[in-house]
C-alpha cells in the first residue's frame, strides 16, 4: 500500500469514526442548513490537509476537536443565508421520544448554546461531550483554571437565561 492510499484510508476511518463530533461542532456554528454543509466540508478539507503534518503528539480526538472548531470559527467566506432558519433540532438529531420534558430541555439548551460567543460555545460543547478540563485546555490553549472558571460562568449564565 503506498503512502497516499494509506493516508486516504486513515482519513476515511477518521471521518467515519468522528462523524458525530464533526457534525455536532458544525451544527453549533451553522446559521442554516447550507451553512452546515459548507462547514462540514471545510472541516473535512482542513482535516485532510492537516493529516500529513499530524504527528500524533496529541490524541486524535483532541486534534479533531481543534481542527473542527478552528475551521468553523475562522470560516473565511462571507456567508449569505439561503434558508430562513437552521432546521429545528429534532429534524437533525434523534431526541428522546419517550421523555418530552427532556427533549424540550435539550432543545432549549441547544438554542441557548447557539447564542454564545465562539470560544464559550467551544468550551461548553467539549464539556458536554465529557472531555476533561485538561483536554479542553489543550484544545483551546487556555489554562486549566481558566477553563474551569469560564465553564462555571457559562453554566451559570445558561441556567439563568433558561429560567428567565
User: Footprint of another protein on residues 125-144 (CB under 8 A)?
Assistant: 127-130, 138-143
| Residue 90, number of CB atoms within 10 A of its CB | 12
Q: Is 94 helix (H, G, I), strand (E, B) or coil?
A: coil
Q: 3-class DSSP state for residue 52?
A: coil
C-alpha cell at 119: 470560544
Contact flag: residue 31 with another protein (CB under 8 A): no
Q: Which of 14, 18, 71, 116 binds another protein (CB under 8 A)?
A: 71
Q: Which parts of 1-30 interact with another protein (CB under 8 A)?
A: 8, 11, 15, 19-20, 22-24, 26-27
Q: Should residue 45 be labelled a site residue for another protein when binding is judged by CB under 8 A?
A: yes
Binding mask 78-107 for another protein (x = CB under 8 A): ---------x---xxxxxx-----x--xx-
Q: From the list 50, 61, 114, 133, which residue makes contact with another protein (rule: CB under 8 A)? A: 50
Q: Which of 39, 116, 131, 135 binds another protein (CB under 8 A)?
A: 39
Using CB under 8 A, pick the residue from 17, 82, 111, 155 that binds another protein: 155
- The Cα–Cα gap between 101 and 154 comes to 23
> Using an 8 Å Cβ cutoff, are 133 and 84 in contact?
no
Rg (CA), the chain: 17
Cell of 118: 465562539
Q: How far is the CB of 141 from another protein (least distance, A)?
A: 3
116 binds another protein per the rule CB under 8 A: no
Rounded to 5°, the CA angle 100-102-106 comes to 115
Amino acid at each position: 500500500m503506498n503512502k497516499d492510499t494509506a493516508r486516504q484510508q486513515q482519513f476515511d476511518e477518521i471521518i467515519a469514526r468522528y462523524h458525530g463530533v464533526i457534525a455536532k461542532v458544525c451544527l453549533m456554528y451553522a446559521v442554516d442548513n447550507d451553512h452546515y454543509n459548507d462547514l462540514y466540508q471545510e472541516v473535512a478539507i482542513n482535516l485532510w490537509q492537516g493529516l500529513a503534518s499530524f504527528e500524533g503528539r496529541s490524541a486524535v480526538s483532541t486534534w479533531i476537536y481543534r481542527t473542527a472548531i478552528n475551521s468553523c470559527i475562522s470560516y473565511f467566506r462571507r456567508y449569505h443565508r439561503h434558508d430562513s432558519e437552521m432546521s429545528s433540532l429534532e429534524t437533525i438529531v434523534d431526541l428522546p421520544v419517550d421523555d418530552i420534558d427532556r427533549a424540550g430541555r435539550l432543545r432549549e439548551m441547544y438554542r441557548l448554546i447557539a447564542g454564545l460567543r465562539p470560544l464559550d460555545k467551544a468550551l461548553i460543547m467539549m464539556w458536554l461531550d465529557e472531555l476533561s478540563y485538561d483536554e479542553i485546555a489543550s484544545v483551546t490553549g487556555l489554562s486549566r483554571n481558566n477553563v474551569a472558571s469560564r465553564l462555571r460562568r457559562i453554566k451559570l449564565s445558561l441556567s439563568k437565561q433558561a429560567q428567565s
